[in-house]
Structure 1
Amino acid sequence: MSSNTDATVRLIVWVQGEVQGVGFRWWTRARALELGLVGQARNLPDGRVGVTAEGDRAACEQLLGLLRGGDTPGRVTSVSEQWDEATGGFSGFAEA
């Protein structure tokens, strides 16, 4: 039986700052694929980027750390997240 930390989860992240038009979604997709995650990164009408990732909880936590780190394209001013159960609705990682 696997522990709860190994469970497949859904991470939803809203990234605010100068994150549109700077390669942020491409960068996020590349990091997510390296971590074995599926999902999408999309521009939101209010200027934020929304990221939805599903996979191993530890990998999702790594992605969240990268999004909060200083090495992203553009300039991130805030990151908020929500955790949920994975729905399995993604194949691959898309820039939407």
Structure 2
Amino acid sequence: MAAEQRMELRIFGRVQGVAFRWYAQSAARGLGLTGWVRNRADGSVQLMAEGSSSALDDLRRWAERGPGQARVDRIEENRSEAAGTCTGFEIYG
């Protein structure tokens, strides 16, 4: 079995005020991922998820589109080995 991975995304564009965090939480939970998502002061959304590489790939593809009202201009991504510190997928400020 492949080791679980951690993916950190910073999503830029029109991603606040469009329910991006709530849809991201739903997508991540549906994929069996753990982690969190939050708004940043610069108008971006930051997301950290842990799980299988294929599930993280699916979440990344979802994030490229986002919910219907969003406009994603750019995504920064970093991956590493999972730390296993999260038990669910939470929304923060």
What is the TM-score of this pair, normalised by structure 1?
0.89
**2:46 corresponding residue in structure 1:** 50
CA distance in 2 between counterparts of 1:60 and 1:70 reads 15
Decide which moves more: 68-77 or 13-22: 68-77
Relative to structure 1, the CA distance from residue 52 to residue 72 in structure 2 (aligned partners, 3 Å threshold; closer, same or farther) is: farther
| Cα contact 1:31–1:63 (8 A) shared by 2 | yes
**2:76 corresponding residue in structure 1:** 80
Give unmatched runs, 5+ long, in structure 1: none
**2:11 corresponding residue in structure 1:** 15
CA distance in 2 between counterparts of 1:72 and 1:63 reads 16
Identity %: 37
What is the TM-score of this pair, normalised by structure 2?
0.92
Aligned positions, number: 92
**2:36 corresponding residue in structure 1:** 40
Q: Which has the larger radius of gyration?
A: 1
Report the Cα offset of residue 72 of structure 1: 4.9
Relative to structure 1, the CA distance from residue 34 to residue 95 in structure 2 (aligned partners, 3 Å threshold; closer, same or farther) is: same
Q: Which amino acid aligns with 2:29?
A: L
String of CA shifts for 1:9-34, please: whole Å, max 9, x gaps: 00000000111111000000000000
Q: Which amino acid aligns with 1:30?
A: S
**2:56 corresponding residue in structure 1:** 60
Relative to structure 1, the CA distance from residue 84 to residue 73 in structure 2 (aligned partners, 3 Å threshold; closer, same or farther) is: farther
Alpha-carbon RMSD across the aligned residues, in angstroms, is 1.3
| Cα contact 1:22–1:73 (8 A) shared by 2 | yes
**2:24 corresponding residue in structure 1:** 28
